Amino acid sequence: MAARDEIIAWLDDLLDAASFEDYGPNGLQVPGAAEVSVVVTGVSAHLELFDRAASLRAQMVLCHHGIFWRKQPQAIDERRKARLKALFDADMSLAAYHLPLDAHPDVGNNALIIRELGFERGEKFGEVGWTGSGAIARDDLIARCARVFGQEPVVFAAGPEEVRSIGVVSGGGAFALAEAVERGLDAMISGEPSEPAMADAQEAGITFIAGGHYATETFGVRRLGQMLAERFGVEHRFVEVPNPV
């Protein structure tokens, strides 16, 4: 058993949450039980995740994508009401960390992806991403991405046959392709492709790999759950709610 507020304070400090200008609030979004014995982690805060967390008797749900976003209507509609009701009925807290969890150099999505792909983490890239260095055949990198992300990626294989440098920005990170080209990287890895990405990659001679928005953002939150279990002695369960996007 651990205190909810101690867990949140530790996460806020670890991820330096207060330093980020984000699309929604980072940290505790909905308060639940003051004491926590079971933490469920998942990528996105929605009803199926909350229902499954409640069935596991969780007192806290920890997500990458929270329930409140700046560009969404601020009124509570029926969909958001159902999500909040699921949390209230189970007395579960909801905590979410978006950009802080992408950007972290050790437990962030992008740093962990670089490690999983067998590269060494390098410099900051694309605001919340990182570069990586190594040496692997392009086709082997694509196959490794399919294995690491658990699905076949969208690939524009226009870069060199040997990949020595990559840039990684998980989720909707295709905006950083121009920076990858400017920095002379051999490949860029993200979650979703943008419409111009194919032509931009082909014309610039860089390989672009989109592994899936959801699939590229399971890493950080799962690692946070493991760390909470190690530090606070709580039970951690990662709940997979697959999304092909």
Domain range for 164 is: 104-213
Q: Is residue 33 one of the residues assigned to a domain?
A: yes
Q: Is residue 218 one of the residues assigned to a domain?
A: no
Residues 84 and 134 in one domain: no
Domain boundary among 72, 98, 124: 98
Residues 117 and 59 in one domain: no
Residues 9 and 58 in one domain: yes
Q: Is residue 87 one of the residues assigned to a domain?
A: yes
**pLDDT tens digit sequence for 162-182:** 999 999 999 999 999 999 999
Residues 205 and 156 in one domain: yes
Question: Is the confidence at residue 241, as pLDDT, over 90?
Answer: yes
Residues 135 and 194 in one domain: yes
Residues 79 and 6 in one domain: yes
Whole-model pTM: value is 0.96
Number of structural domains found in the chain: 2
Domain boundary among 76, 98, 120: 98
**pLDDT tens digit sequence for 210-222:** 999 999 999 999 9
**pLDDT tens digit sequence for 70-103:** 888 888 999 999 999 999 999 999 999 999 999 9
Q: Is residue 158 one of the residues assigned to a domain?
A: yes
Which positions ≥6 away from 182 have C-beta within 8 Å?
Answer: none
Q: Is residue 229 one of the residues assigned to a domain?
A: no
Residues 72 and 112 in one domain: no
- Residue 190's beta-bridge partner residues? 169, 210
Q: Is residue 76 one of the residues assigned to a domain?
A: yes
CATH (domain of 167): 3.40.1390.30
pLDDT at 73: 84
Domain boundary among 49, 75, 98: 98
Residues 130 and 64 in one domain: no
pLDDT at 23: 93
Q: Is residue 234 one of the residues assigned to a domain?
A: no
Residues 129 and 194 in one domain: yes
Q: What is the 3-state secondary structure (H, E, C) of the chain?
A: CEEHHHHHHHHHHHHCHHHCCCCCCCEEEECCCCEECEEEEEEECCHHHHHHHHHCCCCEEEEEECCCCCCCCCCCCHHHHHHHHHHHHHCCEEEECCHHHHHCCCCCHHHHHHHHCCCEEEEEECCCEEEEEEEEEHHHHHHHHHHHHCCCCEEEECCCCEEEEEEEECCCCHHHHHHHHHCCCCEEEECCCCCCHHHHHHHHCCEEEECCCCHHHCHHHHHHHHHHHHHHCCEEEECCCCCCC
Residues 94 and 116 in one domain: no
Closest CA to 163 of 105, 117, 109, 211: 117
**pLDDT tens digit sequence for 111-157:** 999 999 999 999 999 999 999 999 999 999 999 999 999 999 999 99
For the chain, the distance separating the N- and C-terminal CA atoms, rounded to the nearest angstrom, is 36
pLDDT at 24: 93
**pLDDT tens digit sequence for 7-29:** 999 999 999 999 999 999 999 99
Residues 200 and 186 in one domain: yes
Residues 206 and 129 in one domain: yes
Tokens standing for residue 239: 């709940």
Query: How much is the average pLDDT of 44-63?
Result: 98
Q: Is residue 242 one of the residues assigned to a domain?
A: no
